[in-house]
A = this chain, B = another copy of it.
Amino acid sequence: MKDHVGIGIIGFGTVGAGTVKILQENRELIHERTNLYLDIRKIADLDIETDRGIPVDPAVLTRDAEEVIHDPDVDIMVELIGGYEPAARFIKESLRHGKYVVTANKALLATRGWELFETADENGTNIAFEASVGGGIPILRSVREGLCANQFQSIHGILNGTANYILTRMDEAEMDFEEALSEAQAKGYAEADPSYDVDGIDTAHKIAILSTLAFGVRVPFDAIPVKGIRSISQLDVRYAHALGLVIKLLAVGRWQDGELEIRVHPVMIPEHHLLAKVKGVYNAIHVIGDFVGSTLYYGKGAGMFPTGSAVVSDIISIARQLSQGCTYNLPPLGYPPPAFREAIIQDASEVKGAFYLRMMTVDRPGVLSKISGILGENGISLSSVIQKGKGEEPVAIVMVTHDTTWRQVDAALKIIDQLDVVMKPTLALHIEQDLK
C-alpha cells in the first residue's frame, strides 16, 4: 500500500499556482482523508522565475516538460497549459508512460478528446477532467455518477463566468457591453482578447463535454451553433426586464428521440428561474433527468482556487485508486468506450420557440406595418409589440413572436434588415419560456 503519490504539473500559471497552493495548504487534511501524502515532484513552465507568492522548492521547477513526463516518481501528470499543442502531445506521452492525467483543458477535450481517451485506454490509465467544466462545481461527477440512474433529458448551463459577469453588470449597473467588458478586463475576469469567452466558444467546449457524458455520444464540435453576447445592448437588457425576463448566455443540450439539440447563444429566461439569479462570475448547470427531475449545481466557474479545487479533487480520486493498486476505472466519459456513437445533431434552425426581435428603424409612418407584414409572410405572428420614444433616431421597435423557428426568423430578417428604414442589424433572441 502506497502512502505517497507523486504529482507532476505542466503549466504554472493561474490554475497551476492555485493547485500547488491547495496541495500545500491542505496537505494534512488530504492525508487525514486518504492516508496519503500527495508530493509535488516536478513543476514545468517556460517561466520559472516569476514569484507566484507560493513557496516552491527550486529543485522541483523545470523549463522542460519532458522532465515531468519521464520522471518515474510522477504518478499523476497535471496538464494546465491549455490550448491544443503541445498540451495534447504532453498528455499522450504521459499516458504512454503509464501516468494518469488530470487536465482542465476543455478546448482540447471538446475537439480532440477522443484521441486522448483512446490513448489512455490503450495504456490502461485514465484521464480526469472535472476542472474542465464549471470550475469548482463537481458537475461532471454528478452527471457521471450521482445521476447515472437517469436518462438525461436536458442540460441548461451558464458556463462562462466572464460572459455572465458582463451581462450581470449590464443588468445591475446599466452598463453597455463595452463598458462592462472593460471593467471585467480591469478586474482580471476577462482576457485582453475576450473572444473565447464573449463569443461563446468556451461555453460551447463545455456543453460538448457535458453532452458527451450525459447522452453518451460523440459531439462533432463544429456542428454546435454558437452565438456570443457582443450584440446585446443596454436597451435589450431593459426590455428583457419589462418582459419579466433576463438575458443569459446559455448552453443547451437536450435529448429528443435519440437526437441531440445543442446550441450556445444569449437567450431570455424567466426572471423567477434559478438560473436567472446566477450573478457575476458564478456558473450554474440545470440538469433534468427522467427520474430525478430538475436539479441545479452552482458555484464559481473559474479562478485559480475554484478550478484548483476541481483539479485537486481529481488528483485525490486517482491517488486513492493508485494507493490501493486498484485497476477499477470508472469510464471517464460515463460510458465504456465502445458505447459511443456520433451524435445525430438536430437542426438548430428548426428549434421552436418565441423570439425577441429588436429593430432599429427610422421614425417614419408605415415602418411597423411593413415589418410586421414581412414577418407575417414568413409565417411569424406576434404576441406583443413595443415601440417607445419618438423623436430621436434610430427608434427601437421590440417584438415578441409566437412560437416560430430560427429558420423563419432568419429568413424574415434577411429581408427586413435590407429595408432602407432599418438602420442596424436586428437582434433576435430565443425566449426560453419552457425552462422548468
* A residues adjacent to B (C-beta < 8 A): 18, 21-22, 25-26, 29-30, 32-35, 130, 136-138, 141-142, 145-151, 216, 274, 277, 282, 289-300, 305-306, 308-313, 315-317, 320-321, 324, 326-328, 330-331, 334-336, 339
The answer for the CA separation of A138 and B363 in the assembled complex, in Å, is: 55
Q: Nearest B residue to A152 by beta-carbon distance?
A: B29
Cα distance A389–B336 when bound, in Å? Answer: 68
A313 touching B26 in the complex, CB below 8 Å, given contacts A292-B305, A305-B292, A328-B328: no
Chain B residues in 8 Å Cβ range of A138: 141-142, 145-147
Name A295's contact: one of B146, B216, B299 (CB within 8 Å).
B299
Enumerate chain B residues within 8 angstroms of A34, measured Cβ to Cβ: 336
Minimum Cβ distance to chain B for residue A12 (Å):
17
Task: Please give the distance in Å from A214's CB to the nearest CB on chain B.
Answer: 11
With contacts A138-B147, A141-B141, A274-B298 taken as known, whether A292 is within 8 angstroms of B320 at the C-beta atoms is no
A-B contact sample (7 more), CB < 8 A, given A33-B216, A292-B299, A326-B328 = A22-B149, A26-B150, A26-B291, A33-B339, A150-B309, A293-B306, A326-B327
A291 contacts which chain B residues (CB < 8 A)? 18, 21-22, 26, 136, 305-306, 308-309, 312
Contact of A147 among B308, B309, B331 (CB under 8 A): B309
Residues of B within 8 Å of A306, CB to CB, are: 291-293
- Contacts A149-B309, A274-B298, A305-B292 given; indicate if A216 touches B32 (C-beta within 8 A): yes
